[in-house]
């Protein structure tokens, strides 16, 4: 009886070890999307008055959690009854990621020329500010839904073929890390300038260390958000390329002499250029009609 009891504990420990190992792999594979998620949400959560930044971020975070509660059961059902659909969704998600990453590069290299217009700035009423805030929160939650689908499917793709219980635990862990980790870091980022301003105001000495740190934090915020955007763009192409290379046999055996990171980036960029070209031509055809 006692030996059976300890054997059960041993089995549970083995399962948890496997789950920890798989969770580590799944988290690494979703790291690129998490980087982009971080960059997008840092940008979406900034631009509000100081007192509204954290409430807005909290609202987006709750929406993100709800998104994952909707996505996870659907993903597990597909994994149990239509596992091949996971690969198809994974590759389609890779196409979207490649397009998104390439489009960001294109827009940076060839920015849209905006016509010069005279803008009259008028103070917004409280009702208008709240309406604008709601609209921005809604937009952020919709964007998060797309990124959450990608995170869940990529995590699920890394444990496909494993027991369904292991899949549920691993993907749920990744989803929780994605939500808490991303929005926790975003909260720190968007409050950087506020923390810096507080250090500056509390400092009485012009050359004090606290004032220097405060100035660094205030000036660093836009640079941090911009650098996250660049890192997120590169990560998008790497993740997309990785999806294609690992799930399409022809690409897997293509250019074996190249380091995997370069190969995945080039494949992601190539697919992105093809999709961007098709989408651009389609838009031009629609505009001509």
pLDDT digits (tens, 9 = 90+) for 251-273: 878 888 888 889 989 999 999 99
Residue 197 near residue 53, CB atoms below 8 Å: no
pLDDT value at residue 1? 46
Nearest by Cα to 190 from 65, 36, 54:
54
- Whether the pLDDT of residue 61 is over 80: the answer is yes
- Whether the pLDDT of residue 132 is over 90: the answer is no
Q: Which of 9-18, 65-74, 228-237, 268-277 has the lowest mean pLDDT?
A: 9-18
Q: What's the mean per-residue pLDDT of the chain?
A: 76
- And the tokens for 132? 């604008």
- The DSSP output letter for 205 is S
74-to-71, 85, 132 alpha-carbon distances in Å: 5, 11, 32
Calpha distance 76→172 (Å, rounded): 10
Residue matched to tokens 């041993």: 10
- What are the structural domain ranges in the chain? 19-111+120-288
200-to-46, 59, 92, 224, 242 alpha-carbon distances in Å: 21, 30, 49, 20, 45
Calpha distance 131→128 (Å, rounded): 5
Choose between 105 and 113: higher pLDDT.
105
Calpha distance 251→284 (Å, rounded): 31
Residues in the chain: 289
Residue matched to tokens 């749920």: 172
Choose between 119 and 267: higher pLDDT.
267
Within 8 A by CB and 6+ apart from 265, the residues are 234, 237, 238, 241
Residue matched to tokens 């929406």: 63
pLDDT value at residue 287? 78
Within 8 A by CB and 6+ apart from 252, the residues are 245, 246
Residue 167 near residue 86, CB atoms below 8 Å: no
- And the tokens for 152? 């869940």
- The DSSP output letter for 97 is H
- Whether the pLDDT of residue 30 is over 50: the answer is yes
pLDDT value at residue 2? 43
- Whether the pLDDT of residue 8 is over 60: the answer is no
pLDDT value at residue 92? 86
The backbone torsions φ and ψ at residue 119, rounded to the nearest 5 degrees and listed phi first, read: -110, 125
Q: What is the largest CA-CA distance in the chain?
A: 83
Calpha distance 283→279 (Å, rounded): 6
pLDDT value at residue 47? 61
* Percent with pLDDT over 90 in the chain: 7
């Amino acid at each position: 009886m006692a030996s059976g009891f300890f054997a059960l504990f041993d089995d549970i420990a083995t399962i948890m070890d496997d789950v920890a190992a798989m969770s580590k792999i799944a988290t690494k594979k979703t790291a690129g999307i998490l980087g982009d998620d971080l960059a997008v949400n840092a940008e979406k959560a900034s631009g509000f008055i100081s007192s509204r930044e954290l409430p807005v971020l909290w609202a987006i975070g709750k929406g993100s959690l709800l998104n994952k509660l909707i996505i996870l059961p659907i993903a597990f059902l597909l994994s149990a009854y239509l596992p091949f659909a996971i690969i198809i969704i994974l590759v389609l998600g890779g196409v979207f990621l490649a397009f998104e990453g390439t489009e960001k590069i294109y827009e940076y290299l060839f920015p849209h020329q905006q016509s010069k217009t005279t803008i009259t700035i008028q103070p917004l009423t409280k009702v208008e500010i709240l309406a604008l805030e709601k609209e921005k929160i809604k937009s952020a939650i919709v964007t998060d839904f797309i990124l959450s689908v990608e995170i869940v499917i990529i995590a699920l793709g890394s444990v496909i073929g494993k027991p369904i219980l292991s899949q549920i635990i691993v993907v749920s862990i990744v989803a929780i890390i994605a939500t808490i980790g991303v929005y926790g870091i975003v909260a720190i980022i968007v409050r950087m300038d506020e923390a810096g301003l507080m250090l500056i105001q509390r400092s009485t000495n012009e050359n004090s260390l606290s004032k220097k740190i405060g100035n660094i934090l205030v000036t660093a915020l836009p640079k941090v958000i911009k650098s996250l955007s660049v890192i997120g763009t590169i990560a998008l192409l790497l993740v997309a390329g990785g999806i294609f290379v690992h799930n399409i046999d022809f690409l897997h055996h293509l250019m074996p002499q190249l380091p995997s990171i370069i190969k995945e980036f080039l494949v992601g960029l190539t697919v992105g250029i093809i999709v961007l070209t098709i989408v651009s031509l389609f838009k031009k055809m629609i505009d001509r009609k």
